[in-house]
Structure 1
Amino acid sequence: MELDTLINASVTLLVTIDPIGLAPLFLALTAGMDRAARRQIAFRGIVIATGLLVLFTLAGMTILDLFGITMPAFRIAGGLLLFWLAFEMVYEKRQERKQETTVRAVSHDEMKHIAVFPLAIPLIAGPGAISATVLLSTEMSAPLERAALIGVILGLMVLCMIVFMLAERVDRFLGDTGRMVLTRLLGVILAALSVQFVADGILAFRA
């Protein structure tokens, strides 16, 4: 296995997953939650995302072909789901958040839901990361190369966890007003990102 191939895979996945860029999104999604709840959501989301990326590394094209799904279709679907989330963030239509003085009560089911969608899918293991993983797996088809690609994925997931845990400290300085402004601002950014996903998918269909 060539070093250039491994470096290319690392850079490609780092850019598409973008752990640093996910930090403010994670903070907005878990606003008002205590440290334990936030850590649990981060861990669940990363485990799920890791499983998906490893699965697509080993059998990506086979899975998509099996269900007759094209990558442009997957990109459009992810964009639409992301737009729905952005709409709720901007207009405060998300599930009611009950806050006490310093502790927020979060149900077990709600934490599981946030960890799966939108944290794991499509923010961490989104269309871009999955498509990059599938493409890289076709170039790194030897067993040793596949193992190295999985190692890169695991390393990036550890980096995501570290970034998410550091994001907790930012919450102290924001307060209720800061969180409200941040949530709406990120909702607008997410809306633009979702439109880009859909547009890329449509252009790929027409190509």
Structure 2
Amino acid sequence: MPMFDILLNGFVTLFVILDPFGLVPLFLALTPGATSAQRGAIALRASVITFAILALFGLTGLALLEVLGITLGAFRLAGGLFLFWIGFELVFERRAERKQKSASHAVEDSDGGDVAAFPLAIPLMAGPGAISAVILLSGNLPGFVGKAALLGVIFVAVAATFAFLAVAHRLDRYLGVTSRAVISRLLGVLLAALAVQFVADGAAALVESSGHIARPTA
């Protein structure tokens, strides 16, 4: 697959998992009474933390799998199934309910804390789904150029999410509940389709590595 197609698929997958449309109402709930400037600062901190976490796993995830004795094919299969479940949750709005619970716990926390780190960056943005996605993407982008491109994809996806959060108060008025639900469902279907491709690639790699596919002789 051409690198452009890999990067495009990777960006779409990561953007859907970050789910900026679904994050907008949660972000507003986590920052009650904050000014636009304060919300912008919180969104920036959350985005920086998210980028750092995803970049770390994107650059070291494959090495970690190797240490654990997990093949890339097996991780593609498992990661694809996991991403398919996230797409399923988006279509049936279960992901929104789960994120809402995390946001509610943070709002009810008497100590307050930095909502940019928890729960905004972790786990709402840099959650298991996003981490799995960047590790899967890194498997298709070897070498220095590939890793640089991976960091670029992560940066663009996180920057796009930050842009949504920076204008969350305006965007929430224009979108409304119905529009957010429709967009989330459409993105969920798209993510499910991409996840099926990950599963197919992972299954093919596992079958080939087990010797069930005869290799052509020279």
Taking structure 1 as the reference length, the TM-score comes to 0.60
Distance in 2 (CA, whole Å) between partners of 1:157 and 1:59 is 19
**8 A Cα contact 1:52 1:125, kept in partner:** yes
Deviations, residues 176-199 of structure 1 (Å, cap 9, x unaligned): xxxxxx9xxxxxxxxxxxxxxxxx
How far 1:117 moved relative to its partner?
0.6
Distance in 2 (CA, whole Å) between partners of 1:140 and 1:27 is 36
How far 1:58 moved relative to its partner?
0.5
Structure 2 counterpart of 1:150: 151
Structure 2 counterpart of 1:42: 43
**8 A Cα contact 2:58 2:135, kept in partner:** yes
Structure 2 counterpart of 1:29: 30
Change (3 A) 1:122 1:65: farther
- Equivalent pairs: percent with the same residue? 42
How far 1:67 moved relative to its partner?
8.9
Show the 5 A alignment for 1:18-97: 18-63=19-64, 86=101, 89=104, 93-95=108-110
Distance in 2 (CA, whole Å) between partners of 1:33 and 1:19 is 19
Show the 5 A alignment for 1:120-199: 120-169=121-170
Structure 1 counterpart of 2:202: none
3-state SS in 2 of match to 1:31? coil
CA RMSD between the two structures: 3.5
Deviations, residues 40-75 of structure 1 (Å, cap 9, x unaligned): 21111000000011111100243577699xx99xx9
Partner amino acid, structure 2, of 1:165: A
Deviations, residues 132-170 of structure 1 (Å, cap 9, x unaligned): 111111121222122112111111111111101111236
Aligned residue pairs, count: 151
Gaps of at least 5 residues in structure 2 are 70-74, 83-96, 178-218
How far 1:83 moved relative to its partner?
6.0
Structure 2 counterpart of 1:198: none
Partner amino acid, structure 2, of 1:130: I
Structure 2 counterpart of 1:196: none
Gaps of at least 5 residues in structure 1 are 76-81, 98-109, 174-181, 183-207
Runs of 4 or more consecutive aligned structure 1 residues displaced over 4 Å after TM superposition: 63-68, 82-85, 170-173
3-state SS in 2 of match to 1:32? coil
Change (3 A) 1:167 1:88: closer
**8 A Cα contact 1:88 1:94, kept in partner:** no
